[in-house]
Each structure stands twice: as structure tokens, then as C-alpha cells.
């Protein structure tokens, strides 16, 4: 019987694993891989304490940090995929591709994946000008013209970040209204002199030669196509949280993200916490994911100690 089961190997899961080890909580660490979504990034420049690091090197640093402290406290199961969580007799059973594990508490830190832009050229130019993380890769496009695909809150938040250093930002939105974005955010971002918006428009091709040089878009009403001369394309068309294994036990929102109390990361079920991109946290970034996991571990530690 473990004190804690951590599910997920991104920044939230690893941060939780390090803290669990330091607090001497007997822990089972379950992850298909270590690193999270940033492993695809060419250069991460916003991980606090590190000026710039590639996504792959960041993943290696995560693994090294976790294994340094794990010792005989954290049992690491890499390549294991969680498939279900059940509660009975005051503890949890986590079923995985490498067997079942029992724990007194659970931290869901399973992250998610970005919805991919599925148009001609998108796959060819991924990490060559087409990216899914403005906070990670935005500074690489300083002084250049870029496009953001997506008119929800994530799209406008990315545009706001990019406006700090890009020459111009053009947001591509497939509808005529911004129904999935906060009105105040929309108003603030659109007021910037270097911000442009194309409504009722969708991307149809990413173009370039070795690196992105343009984005072809189509107006849905007129059918007219236009090539935008941009050096970067930032895609914000939604997140797919990895929460299928938890849907039968904790409350999820309409996007299948785990609902949490932001004060302590507790879920709807006593004994289960969640952190990172799999939750309904308003902002999704590496530092926030790690911080939420640390917050959860502090609460988990005292919860376990009170129960003994």
C-alpha cells in the first residue's frame, strides 16, 4: 500500500514526485513518459531558473531530478499507462498497463495534448515555424510577423504574449463572433495597434522552404484565398486532456478536464487531487503546472498525516 499514487510525467507529475520523495511519502509514480508537451519545443525560455533549454533536455533534467531524490521512497514506473481508478475500503486501486497499484491518495497529473492543425503543410513545418506553445517559442519570433489560429481564450492569450515582441500578430478565427473568449480580454488585445483579426476565416495551407514563410487562409463567406506572409504560426484550437481513466470517479467539466479547488487542488473525491493541464485551471504553462502540483503535495502530506 502506497501513501500516494502520482499519475503523469510532465512538470506537474515530476514536481509532485520530487516533493513526495523529500517528504518521505511512499509513492508510486506512473507515467508513459517523462517530459510533457514541452518535449516538442525547440527552445523553452520561460522555465524559471533556466535561460533557455530544449524540450528534450528539459525532459532529461526532469527525469534526473526525480531519480536523484526517488531512492527507496518513490517507485517509478515509466511506460505505464493508467486505465482506471477505483475507490474501496478507504483506499484507491489504480489499474495500469503494468499491473494494479494501491494507494491511500492519488494525484492526477496526466496532462493532455494539443489539438493538431490538420491542413496541408502543417505536419511538415511543426517546430519549423508552426508551434503549439506561444509561451515556450514566442520569443524566437521577435520582430517578425506571425499568425495565431484560434479565437478562444487561449488564442487571445497567446496573441497578447506575442504582441510583446512580434512585429504584428494576425488572429485567424473561423466564426464571426468570439463566443469562447472573455470579452475583456478580446477588447484589450484587439486594441493593440499591431493586432489584426480575420473572422469567418480558416487556414488551408502552411507554406515555406525549410521554415514557415506563409499561411494560406480562406474566407468562408466569399471563398477568397489569401497568403499571409508570416514567419510563425501559433495554433490554439483546443486541448485534449488525458482524463479517460478518471472519468468514472471524479467530476469533469464540459471539456473533460478535472474540476479542482484552486486553493488546494482537491477534486470532487476525497483523497484525489489533480494538477496541470488535465485540470480546469485557467492558465496552462509549465511553471503553473509545477506550482499547482507542489500546492497539492503540501495538502496531500498534511491530509495523510492527519489520517494516521
What is the Cα–Cα distance from 289 to 307, expressed in whole angstroms? 27
What DSSP letter does each residue of 148-161 carry, written as one string? EE--SHHHHHHHHH
pLDDT at 215: 98
Q: Please check whether residue 191 is in contact with residue 215, taking contact to mean a CB–CB distance below 8 angstroms.
A: no
Residue 185's pLDDT band, with cuts at 50, 70 and 90, is: confident
Residue 44's pLDDT band, with cuts at 50, 70 and 90, is: confident
Q: Please name the residues in contact with 179: beta carbons below 8 A apart, sequence gap of 6 or more.
A: none
Query: Would you say residue 136 has pLDDT above 90?
Result: no
pLDDT at 55: 86
What is the Cα–Cα distance from 236 to 177, expressed in whole angstroms? 16
pLDDT at 111: 94
Full strand arrangement of the beta sheet holding 145-149 = 130-131, 232-235, 145-149, 168-172, 195-198
Cβ atoms within 10 Å, residue 270: 10
Cβ atoms within 10 Å, residue 307: 11
pLDDT at 236: 92
Residue 137's pLDDT band, with cuts at 50, 70 and 90, is: confident
pTM (whole model) above 0.85: no
* Nearest partner of 38 among 210, 246, 275, 284, judged by Cα: 284
Mean of pLDDT over the chain? 94
What would the grid cell of residue 42 be? 525547440
Question: Residue range 195-221: average pLDDT?
Answer: 96
What is the Cα–Cα distance from 13 to 253, expressed in whole angstroms? 21
Length of the chain in terms of residues written: 308
Residue 100 parent element (H or E): strand 99-108
Question: Residue range 59-64: average pLDDT?
Answer: 96
Q: What is the pLDDT of residues 144-179, one digit of tens each?
A: 999 999 998 889 989 999 999 999 999 999 999 998
276-to-62, 207, 242, 254 alpha-carbon distances in Å: 15, 33, 11, 17
Q: What is the pLDDT of residues 251-276, one digit of tens each?
A: 999 999 999 999 999 999 999 999 99
At 282, phi and psi to the nearest 5? -65, -40
pLDDT at 42: 67
Cβ atoms within 10 Å, residue 134: 26
Question: Residue range 75-81: average pLDDT?
Answer: 96
pLDDT at 258: 98
Amino acid at each position: 500500500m502506497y501513501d500516494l499514487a502520482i499519475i503523469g510525467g510532465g512538470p506537474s507529475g515530476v514536481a509532485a514526485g520530487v516533493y513526495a520523495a523529500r517528504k518521505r511519502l511512499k509513492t508510486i509514480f506512473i507515467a508513459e513518459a517523462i517530459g510533457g508537451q514541452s518535449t516538442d519545443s525547440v527552445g523553452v525560455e520561460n522555465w524559471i531558473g533556466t535561460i533557455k533549454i530544449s524540450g528534450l533536455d528539459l525532459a532529461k533534467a526532469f527525469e534526473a531530478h526525480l531519480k536523484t531524490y526517488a531512492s527507496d521512497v518513490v517507485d517509478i514506473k515509466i511506460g505505464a499507462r493508467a486505465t482506471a481508478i477505483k475507490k474501496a475500503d478507504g483506499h484507491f486501486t489504480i489499474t495500469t498497463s503494468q499491473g494494479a497499484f494501491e494507494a491511500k491518495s492519488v494525484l492526477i497529473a496526466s496532462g493532455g495534448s494539443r489539438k493538431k492543425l490538420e491542413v496541408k503543410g502543417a505536419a511538415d513545418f511543426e517546430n519549423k515555424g508552426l508551434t503549439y506553445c506561444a509561451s515556450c517559442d514566442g520569443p524566437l519570433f521577435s520582430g517578425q510577423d506571425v499568425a495565431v489560429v484560434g479565437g478562444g481564450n487561449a488564442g487571445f492569450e497567446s496573441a497578447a504574449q506575442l504582441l510583446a515582441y512580434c512585429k504584428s500578430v494576425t488572429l485567424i478565427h473561423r466564426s464571426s463572433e468570439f463566443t469562447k473568449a472573455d470579452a475583456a480580454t478580446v477588447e484589450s488585445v484587439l486594441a493593440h495597434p499591431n493586432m489584426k483579426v480575420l473572422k469567418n476565416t480558416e487556414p488551408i495551407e502552411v507554406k515555406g522552404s525549410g521554415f514557415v514563410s506563409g499561411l494560406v487562409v480562406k474566407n468562408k463567406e466569399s471563398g477568397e484565398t489569401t497568403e499571409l506572409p508570416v514567419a510563425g504560426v501559433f495554433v490554439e484550437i483546443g486541448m485534449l486532456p488525458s482524463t479517460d481513466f478518471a472519468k468514472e470517479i471524479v467530476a469533469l467539466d464540459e471539456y473533460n478536464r478535472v474540476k479542482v479547488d484552486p486553493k488546494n487542488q482537491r477534486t470532487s473525491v476525497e483523497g484525489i487531487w489533480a494538477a496541470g493541464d488535465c485540470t480546469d485551471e485557467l492558465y496552462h504553462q509549465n511553471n503553473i503546472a509545477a506550482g499547482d502540483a507542489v500546492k497539492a503535495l503540501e495538502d496531500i502530506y498534511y491530509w495523510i498525516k492527519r489520517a494516521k
